[in-house]
Chain A
Amino acid sequence: ELKVEQNPLFLSMQEGKNYTIYCNYSTTSDRLYWYRQDPGKSLESLFVLLSNGAVKQEGRLMASLDTKARLSTLHITAAVHDLSATYFCAGSMNSGGYQKVTFGTGTKLQVIP
């Protein structure tokens, strides 16, 4: 069974600073996803990482995947207040022909002006 752990669980950072959220998973995961969730809202897909060494960037967010270390990172560059949200990583495994997704507990990010 796939288990996904994120750290830190809470992150308070000042605007303009850089930081990294870590996502470890317990066993082989076919894909790695990053989602953003604003309070009371649903999940917004940020990145889908498919292979070892994959790196994707969108604005101030960059996600990477190291399948050998079973580790994905979400790096935040020069944080701005609008990035305040909860970020989830999720892994997936083939389950009878579809990818069953398992989520981590999330990292609540607060960017302080």
Chain B
Amino acid sequence: DTGVSQNPRHKITKRGQNVTFRCDPISEHNRLYWYRQTLGQGPEFLTYFQNEAQLEKSRLLSDRFSAERPKGSFSTLEIQRTEQGDSAMYLCASSLVGGGNEQFFGPGTRLTVL
């Protein structure tokens, strides 16, 4: 399977704990995006990487959130001191420069904060 993959698929954690999610984009895609989707809503943009550079972060991304893409391949999204309001589906997408910006989404990581 050469699509976007995300791990874990589900994560249940207690409030105050730290969590880290991983995204592996389509191998030749140099752009990578993180979105958050809550129930009944569309995905909301969190952050964007071109290769290893993080070029934009949403206001939604508080200082408890950090994302990295150290070698321009896979990316991680860490949430520190989780809160119940962080419960959501975290989606990763990737695209190719010049490819009409068509973003291909991974299966998502569903986070539940108790």
Contact = CB atoms under 8 A, between A and B. Distances in A.
Interface of A: 4, 31, 33, 35, 40-45, 48, 50, 88, 90, 92, 95-106
A98 B41 contact: no
Interface stretch (B13-21, B77-85, B102-110): B102-110
A25 to B, nearest CB: 13
A2 to B, nearest CB: 11
26 contacts: A4-B42, A31-B101, A33-B103, A42-B91, A42-B105, A42-B106, A42-B108, A45-B102, A45-B103, A48-B102, A92-B101, A95-B56, A96-B55, A96-B56, A97-B50, A97-B55, A98-B50, A98-B55, A98-B56, A98-B101, A100-B56, A101-B101, A101-B103, A102-B45, A105-B41, A105-B42
Given A31-B101, A42-B91, A95-B56, A100 B45 contact: yes
Given A31-B101, A50-B100, A98 B42 contact: no
A81 B42 CA distance: 23
Nearest to A88: B42
Given A40-B110, A50-B100, 15 more contacts: A4-B42, A31-B100, A41-B107, A41-B108, A43-B93, A45-B103, A48-B101, A88-B43, A98-B50, A98-B55, A100-B48, A103-B42, A103-B44, A105-B40, A106-B41
B69 interface: no
Taking chain A's interface residues, is the majority helix, strand, or loop, or is none over half, making it mixed?
strand
B22 interface: no
A43 B48 contact: no
Interface of B: 31, 33, 40-45, 48, 50, 55-56, 91, 93, 100-108, 110
Contacts of A42: 91, 105-108
- In the complex, which of the residues A4, A33, A103 has the most CB atoms of chain B within 10 Å of its own CB atom? A103
B45 A43 contact: no
Nearest to B99: A48
